[in-house]
Structure formats: C-alpha cells, structure tokens
C-alpha cells in the first residue's frame, strides 16, 4: 500500500518537468538551457555535501523505538550538522565565484549568456545548499512510514515549480527569473513541510538546539560518513554525462542529450521512489530475523523493476523520437539516434534490477562492497565514456556506462547482498 500510494502521489509531480522542459528549452535558448542543465548536473554531483547524514538518519530512525525524546535527539543533531554545512557552502561559494571563469569552463559562446553565467551558478548552487538541511524532512517522514505524505509534499513542490515557471514565462520575466522559479520552489516547499510536520503533526520530536547531543552526533557521523563516501562516488559517476558531452561534443549537443535524458529519468524516479519505500521496511525485517521474507520481497522487487523498466525502456526506444517531436519540437533528433535511446534503455534496466539488492545492504548499513563497486565504476566509466564520445559519438556514452556497470557494480552488488542477509541489522 505504501508503494502504491507513493507512486500515485509521485505521479502527480512527474508531469511538471515534462511540461516545463520544452517551454524552457524554447524560451531560454539552447545555450542558456544547456548551461543550466550542466550546472544542475554539478549540483547533482554535490549531493554528498550532506555528509551522508540524510541516509544515515533514515537508517537509524528505522531501528529506533517509539521514544520521541530519542528521535528528537537524532533529528536535532542532524539538522544542526547540516545547517552548519549549508552555511559553510554558501560562504565558500560567494568567495570562490569571482575566481572561476564559468563561461569558459562550460564552453559558452553567446555573450549574453556568458554575462549571466556567474549569477546562474550562484542561484543554482545557493538553492542547492539551502535545501541540504531542508530536505531532511523527507527522510524523517519515510523513516516513520509516512510515505504518502512525504511524496505528496514533493509532488506539491514540483507542481508549484511548474506553475511558477509557466507564470514567469507568460509574464515575460527575465531568463534568470524563470530559472529562479524552477530552483527555489522545492526548498520553499520543504520548509513549509518541515514547519507543518514539527509544529502540528509531531511536536514531540521537534528539533531544538538543547537536544543536540555529542554522542548521538558521533554515531550519526560514523554511519553518515560511510554513506558520504559512497554517495560521493556514485553521484559523480551518475552526473558526469552532461559536462563530458559539453566538453567533448559541445554545449548544444549536451542540451539535446539532457532533454532525452529526462525521458529516461522518469524510470530513475520510479526506481528511487520504490527503493526509498522498502529501505526502512527491509531494515526492520532483518532486525527481527525475517531473512526469508526479505529474500522473497527482494526477488519480487527485482521482477517488478525488470518488467516495468524493461517494458517502458523498449517503448521509449520505439517511440522516443516521436515523443521528442511532440514534446519539445525544437530538438534535432538526428543528434540522438536510435542507438542512443537503446543504450539508455539498457542502462536504465541494469541499474533498476540491481537496485533492490542495494537497498537491502543500505538498510543494515553494509556499504563496503558498494564502495569498491562504485570506485571501480567511476574510474572505468569515466575513461570509457571519454573514449566512446570521441570514437563512437554520443552513443558511446551510455554504452560505456553499461559495460562499466556490468564489470564493476554487479559483482559488488551480489557479494554485498549475500553478506547483508547474514548480518544482523543495526546502524
């Protein structure tokens, strides 16, 4: 029921990026839109800036009892730590911005776009930094099995962002104002969600400065830093595509590839949604010794992912170009041939069917096998992607990712899953 209701709630928000992408692509132009997507990809790489505390808090709260004082102590410590991180990131960004040649770094040739590059970077990274502590509310709600509520708020943020962007474009606002509407709405929604949750729904677990506890901080940091290391490598590896394409093939090709990537990004949203739902459930089941149930449930999830992602991926291969014409219209489909769509579908399938096995390991804090897997993938995939882009064109990028994932991540995932089933759960 949790998965089903979460999918319904999340589905309401999936329409938002699908609607605003073609409108923004035409309104902003290919270079400005490509710059925005490249900067967004860099913020995606920086998700490790939360020190892994978001995932660590999710795992630890999933193993706590119903003591609100203990929960409030964990939550308060997490907010205090990530609030400090966000403030440090904002200060560092302001100090470093004048020293970085953003237009040259991203290959911007349009003088107007080049003049806006610094402001655009500050805007996107600033919104990202502020959202680091604000996004903790999603982990807290998931850990307390308030899945539908959490996804409802996320969907609200996506829909509000869509309406704000469309309203700004209709009113003829500046391109930077349109981008601001897109990147600032989600942090504002998380802020409202946090206030409503702690002041009306769960006041007993409300965070406060007097509840920050040193011993709790050390335990949370130990687990969080393990997630930090893992998320650092995986985030960089999974968000490196747009900067690589921009560097090797140009910013225009990167913009077209980013639009195509959003089609297949819907599959990643589905995988992440279900994975976050079963994360605390798997940890609680293993803590009770229900290994057989976890094994059966994992097999079901692998089958579910394989059927849904595989079928949808094949449909996108067959009808992807037609969808792009209807959806965006301004995208040159010759830049993204069918081979690129097929390779992206294969990549989505490989990641999807391995995800349930990874979630089981995360639920008990067993991260070492994934560490070796992602380290190998990052090194091998980066080299193969650069080689593939230069020798095979755009299709070389997802093909290199598929080959690297099979050679590095899959062996690590299988080994880690077997170990997780034999290991007592606990943060």
pLDDT at 13: 65
pLDDT at 270: 73
Taking the C-alpha atoms of residue 420 and residue 85, their distance in angstroms, rounded to an integer, is 31
Enter the tokens of residue 170. Answer: 């209709």
**pLDDT averaged over consecutive 10-residue blocks of the chain (427 residues)?**
66 71 88 87 66 79 73 89 88 88 84 89 91 90 80 82 91 92 92 94 89 82 81 78 83 81 78 76 80 92 91 88 75 78 92 92 87 91 91 90 94 93 63
Taking the C-alpha atoms of residue 272 and residue 131, their distance in angstroms, rounded to an integer, is 19
Q: Tell me which residue of 127, 140, 149 sits closest to 10, measured CA to CA.
A: 149
DSSP-assigned letters across all residues of 317-373: HHHHHHHHHHHTSSS-GGGS-HHHHHHHHHHHHHHHHHHHHHHHHHHTT--HHHHHH
3-state SS record for 161-221: HHHHHHHHHHCCCCHHHHHHHHHHHHHHHHHHHHHHHHHHHCHHHCCCHHHCCHHHHHHHH
Q: Is 109 exposed, middle or buried (0-12, 13-18, 19+ CB in 10 A)?
A: exposed
Taking the C-alpha atoms of residue 408 and residue 377, their distance in angstroms, rounded to an integer, is 6
Cβ neighbours for 75, distance < 8 A, ≥ 6 positions apart: 57, 61, 136, 140, 205, 207, 211
In order of 31, 49, 57, 120, 158, the CA distances from 43 in angstroms are 18, 10, 22, 12, 18
pLDDT at 10: 66
Three-point CA angle 22, 25, 26, nearest 5°: 90
Enter the tokens of residue 324. Answer: 């792009």
Locate tokens 């560097």: which residue? 247
65 φ/ψ sector (left φ>0, alpha ψ -120 to 50, else beta): beta
pLDDT at 97: 85
**How many whole angstroms from its chain centre is CA 351?**
14
Please answer whether residues 120 and 179 qualify as being in contact, where contact means their C-beta atoms are separated by less than 8 angstroms.
yes
3-state helix, strand, coil in the chain (%, to 5): 90, 0, 10
Taking the C-alpha atoms of residue 145 and residue 297, their distance in angstroms, rounded to an integer, is 17
Q: How many CB atoms lie within 10 A of CB 217?
A: 19
Q: Tell me which residue of 362, 176, 169 sits closest to 272, measured CA to CA.
A: 362
């Amino acid at each position: 029921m949790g998965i089903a209701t979460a999918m319904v709630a999340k589905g309401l928000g999936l329409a938002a990026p699908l609607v605003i992408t073609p409108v923004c692509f035409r309104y902003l132009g290919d270079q400005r839109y490509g710059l925005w997507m490249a900067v967004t990809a860099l913020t995606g790489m920086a998700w490790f800036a939360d020190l892994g505390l978001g995932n660590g808090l999710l795992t630890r709260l999933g193993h706590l009892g119903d003591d609100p004082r203990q929960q409030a102590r964990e939550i308060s410590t997490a907010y205090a730590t990530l609030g400090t991180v966000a403030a440090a990131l904002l200060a560092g960004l302001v100090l470093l911005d004048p020293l970085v040649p953003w237009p040259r770094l991203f290959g911007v040739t349009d003088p107007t776009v080049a003049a806006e590059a610094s402001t655009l970077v500050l805007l996107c990274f600033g919104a990202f930094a502020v959202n680091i502590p604000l996004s903790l509310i999603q982990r807290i709600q998931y850990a307390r099995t308030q899945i539908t509520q959490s996804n409802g708020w996320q969907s609200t943020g996506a829909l509000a962002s869509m309406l704000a962007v469309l309203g700004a474009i209709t009113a003829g606002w500046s391109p930077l104002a349109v981008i601001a509407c897109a990147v600032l709405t989600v942090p504002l929604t998380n802020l409202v969600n946090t206030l409503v949750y702690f002041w009306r729904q769960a006041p007993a677990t409300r965070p406060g400065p007097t509840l920050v506890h040193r011993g709790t901080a050390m335990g949370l940091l130990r687990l969080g830093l393990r997630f930090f290391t893992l998320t650092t490598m995986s985030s960089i590896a999974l968000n490196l595509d747009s900067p690589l394409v921009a560097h090797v093939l140009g910013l225009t090709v990167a913009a077209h590839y980013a639009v195509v990537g959003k089609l297949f990004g819907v599959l990643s949203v589905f995988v992440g949604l279900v994975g976050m739902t079963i994360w605390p459930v798997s940890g609680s089941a293993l803590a009770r010794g229900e290994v057989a149930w976890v094994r059966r449930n994992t097999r079901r999830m692998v089958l579910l992912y394989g059927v849904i992602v595989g079928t949808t991926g094949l449909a996108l291969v067959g009808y992807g170009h037609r969808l792009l014409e209807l959806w965006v219209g301004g995208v040159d489909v010759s830049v993204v041939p069918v081979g690129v769509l097929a390779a992206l579908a294969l990549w989505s399938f490989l990641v999807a069917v391995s995800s349930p096995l990874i979630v089981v390991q995360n639920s008990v804090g067993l991260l070492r096998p994934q560490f070796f897997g992602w380290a190998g993938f990052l090194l091998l995939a980066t080299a193969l992607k650069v080689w593939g882009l230069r020798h095979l064109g755009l299709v070389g990028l997802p093909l290199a990712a598929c080959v690297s994932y099979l050679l590095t991540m899959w062996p690590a995932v299988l080994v880690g899953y077997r170990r997780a089933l034999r290991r007592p759960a606990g943060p």
